[in-house]
Amino acid sequence: MGAGHGGPLGSAYVARDTVVHRLPAHVALVAVVAFALVVVATPVRAAWAPAYAGYAVLVLGAAALARVPAGRLLRGLAVELPFVVFALLLPVVARGPRVEVLGLSLSESGLLAAGGLLAKATLSVLAATVLAATTTPQDLVRGMQRLRLPAVLVQILSFMVRYADVVAGELRRMRVARESRGFRGRGPGALKVVAGTAGALFVRSYERGERVHLAMLSRGGDGRLPAGPALAVPARTWLTGLALPLSAAALLAAGMLGA
Amino acid sequence: MSTPPSLLVEDLAFAYPDGHQALFGVDLRLERGERVALLGPNGAGKTTLVLHLNGILAGGRGRVSVAGLPVEKRNLPEVRRRVGIVFQDPDDQLFMPTVGEDVAFGPRNLGLPEPEVAARVAAALEQVGMAGSADRPPHHLSFGQRRRVAVATVLSMHPEVLVLDEPSSNLDPAGRRELAEVLTGLPVTMLMVTHDLPYALQLCPRSVVLDGGVVVADGPTREVLADADLLAAHRLELPYGFDPSRA
Ligand SMILES: Nc1ncnc2c1ncn2[C@@H]1O[C@H](COP(=O)(O)OP(=O)(O)OP(=O)(O)O)[C@@H](O)[C@H]1O
Ligand SMILES: [Mg+2]
C-alpha cells in the first residue's frame, strides 16, 4: 500500500531509536509547543540576535540527537516558503528610515521585522519537523488524547490518520480507471470529469463512514473511542523532553535581565 | 433444561425502508459449536440476515435469539458481545490507529479492567497468528493479515457465535488457507457467508442455501454441493473441475 511509514501522513517520520524518539508523544508535543511559545515571545530587536542564535543551536542539537537527516529538515522548511516571500517584501514596502543595501533603498524597521519573522518561523518549523520526524502520526494523536484535547478533535484526527491511506488508494484507483479509458486531464471537459471523481470519492467515503459506524456498533461502541491505560511518565522523562523549551526559556530570561 | 441453541431465527421477514423486501420468513437454528455455511446468489439476503443477528437491523416480523437471549433493544449490549460479526472489508472493521487498540475496542466497551483487556488482546492476536503485531497500524498490514486481525477484534469479546461475511474474498490462496487454519481451530459456533463453495466444504459440515429471502436448502455441505439441480436453480457454481464427492 502506501509508501514509507504510514502512507501520505506518515511520510515525515524517520524511524530511528534515539532518546528523542523514545520520548512519549505528549511530552514531545508539550516541549515543541513550549519552545515555539518562547521563540514567539522573544522581542524582535537587533540586540536579541544572540538569543535567536542560541535557539537555533538548541533545535539543531535536538535534530542531531534524533539523527534527523539534514535533507528532511530542509524539506520541512518548505512549508515556510510563503512566509519567506512575505518577509522579502517587508523591507521594500515598509515605511520609516531607510538604509542602502547593494544600491537598494530599504526600510530599516522593515528589515528588522522581516528578519524577526523569518527567524521565528524557521525555528518553530524546525522544531515541528523534528517532532514529525520522531513521532508517528498515530502516536501524535494518542499524545493529544493524553493532553485532554477535545475528544471530537482527537477522533477526527485519528480517523484521518487511519483512513488517509484508504482514501488516497481509492483516489488513485479512480485516477487509474479514468486514465485507462483515455482521459487526459486537459481541455474544458476535464473539469467536469474531475468534479465527478470528487463527487464519487465523497459518496464512497460517506458510505465507508456508515459501514465503519456499523462495525463500531457491532462491537458495543457508543461513539466514543476508549483510551488505553496511560502509563505514568517519570519526572526524568519530562525533564529530558522539556530540556529544549527550558533552555530556550533560560536564554529568554537571561536576555530580559541583561536588557 | 437442555442448553438453548447458539442461534435461533424464527420466521424472520424484513423490508428495507425504501420498501424493498429482502427476507420473507427465514428459519435457522445453530446448535452450540456448529459450523454452518450460508450460501446463496448475490442479493439473496445473506448480509441482511447477518445484520439481524446482532440487532443492527430489526423491526420486521419474526424473532432472533442468541443462546436463549432474545435480540431486542434492552438486550443489545449483551447480544453484541455474544455475536461477533466480521465484515467483508477489513478496512471498515479496523478503525483504530493500531492493531492492539482495535482488538481492545470491544473489551473496553464491555468495561473490562485494563489487565483483562490486555490479556484478551494478547490471546486474540495469538489465536489468529498475529501476536507481535499489536503496535502496528492496520494500514501497514497485508490484506490477509488485516482480515485475520478483523477476526481477532471480535474474538477478544469472547463471542458465543462468530459470523463472517465472505471471509475468503480477495484473499490469495495462501491467505485463504491460513485463514481456514485459524477458523477451524476456534471453539465457537460459526456462521460463514460465502460464495466460495470449496471453502464451505472445507470448513463447514452443514450448509444453508438462501435465495430470494427464504431458506431453500439446509443439509450436510457435501450433499448440498452434490445436488447439481439445486445449485443450478440458485446460481451457485462449483469451480471448474471441482468434485465435492472427492474433495
Ligand atoms: N440499504 C438497502 N436499502 C434497500 N435495499 C437494500 C439495501 N441493502 C440491500 N438491499 C437489497 O436487499 C436484497 C438483499 O441484499 P443483501 O445485501 O442482503 O444480499 P446478499 O445476499 O448479501 O448479496 P451479496 O452476495 O451480493 O452480498 C438485495 O435485493 C438488495 O438490493
Ligand atoms: Mg452480502
Per-residue exposure over A169-184, b if at least 16 CB sit within 10 Å of its own CB, e if not? bbbeebeeebeeeeee
Contacts with A142 from chain B: Cβ below 8 Å: 97
Q: Is B2 in the pocket of ligand 1 (CB under 6 A)?
A: no
Contacts with B87 from chain A: Cβ below 8 Å: 211, 214-215, 218
Give the residue on B whose Cα is nearest the Cα of A161: B97
Distance (Å, whole) CA B91 – CA B106: 16
Asked if B32 and B43 count as a contact pair (C-beta separation under 8 A), the reply is no
Strand pairing of B69-70 and B189-193?
A: unpaired
Distance (Å, whole) CA A84 – CA A18: 32
Distance (Å, whole) CA B2 – CA A67: 66
Give the list of residues 6+ apart from residue B246 with CB closer than 8 angstroms, or none: none
* Cell 467515503, residue located: A205
B52: phi > 0 → left, psi -120 to 50 → alpha, else beta; which? alpha
* Cell 421477514, residue located: B13
Q: By percentage, how much of chain B surpasses pLDDT 90?
A: 82
pLDDT at residue A259, rounded to an integer: 64
Distance B164 CA to ligand 2 centre (A): 10
Contacts with B108 from chain A: Cβ below 8 Å: 226, 228
pLDDT at residue A1, rounded to an integer: 34
Per-residue pLDDT for B245 more than 90? no
Taking the CA atoms of chain B, what radius of gyration do you get in angstroms? 18
Distance B210 CA to ligand 1 centre (A): 12
> Model confidence over B118-139: pLDDT tens digits?
999 999 999 999 999 999 988 8
Is the domain defined by B7-234 classed in CATH 3.40.50.300? yes
Strand pairing of B161-165 and B83-86?
A: parallel
Instruction: Write down how long chain B is.
Output: 247
Interval B134-148 mean pLDDT: 91
How many CB pairs below 8 A link A and B? Answer: 90
Interface mutation target, options B139, B145, B146, chain A, most CBs of A under 10 Å: B139
Distance (Å, whole) CA A76 – CA A60: 13
Distance (Å, whole) CA A255 – CA A23: 29
Q: Which of B91, B104, B105 sits opposite A221 (nearest CB)?
A: B105
pLDDT at residue A3, rounded to an integer: 36
pLDDT at residue A2, rounded to an integer: 33
pLDDT at residue A182, rounded to an integer: 66
Is the model more confident about A173 or about B116? B116
Task: Read off the DSSP letter of residue A99.
Answer: E
B53: phi > 0 → left, psi -120 to 50 → alpha, else beta; which? alpha
Interval B25-46 mean pLDDT: 96
> Model confidence over B59-113: pLDDT tens digits?
899 999 999 999 998 998 899 999 999 998 898 889 888 899 899 999 988 889 9
Interval B9-29 mean pLDDT: 96
> Model confidence over B204-213: pLDDT tens digits?
999 999 999 9
Per-residue pLDDT for B242 more than 80? yes
What atom of ligand 1 comes closest to residue B46's alpha carbon?
21
From the number of C-beta atoms within 10 Å of its C-beta (0-12, 13-18, 19+), residue A259 rates as exposed
Alpha helices, H only, chain A: 7-10, 19-22, 25-41, 49-65, 70-77, 81-93, 108-134, 137-146, 151-180, 188-218, 235-258
Distance (Å, whole) CA B51 – CA B53: 5
Contacts with B105 from chain A: Cβ below 8 Å: 216, 219, 221, 225-226
Per-residue exposure over A204-217, b if at least 16 CB sit within 10 Å of its own CB, e if not? eeeebeebbebbbb
pLDDT at residue A7, rounded to an integer: 52
Residues with CB under 5 A from ligand 2 (ion): B 47
ipTM tops the 0.85 cut: no
Q: Which residues of chain A have pLDDT under 70?
A: 1-10, 180-182, 184-187, 259
Looking at this protein, which amino acid is placed at residue B15? A
Nearest Cα residue to A12 out of A54, A90, A74: A74
pTM metric for this prediction: 0.78
Beta-ladder partners of B218: B208
Per-residue pLDDT for B141 more than 70? yes
List of E strands, B49-127 = 61-66, 69-70, 83-86
pLDDT at residue A200, rounded to an integer: 81
Using the Cβ of B101 and the Cβ atoms of chain A, whether some distance falls under 8 Å is answered with: yes
Nearest Cα residue to B145 out of B81, B94, B85, B204: B94
Distance (Å, whole) CA B34 – CA B5: 10
Ligand nearest to the CA of B23: 1
Residues 210-229 of B with CB under 8 A from A: none
3-state SS, residue B88: coil
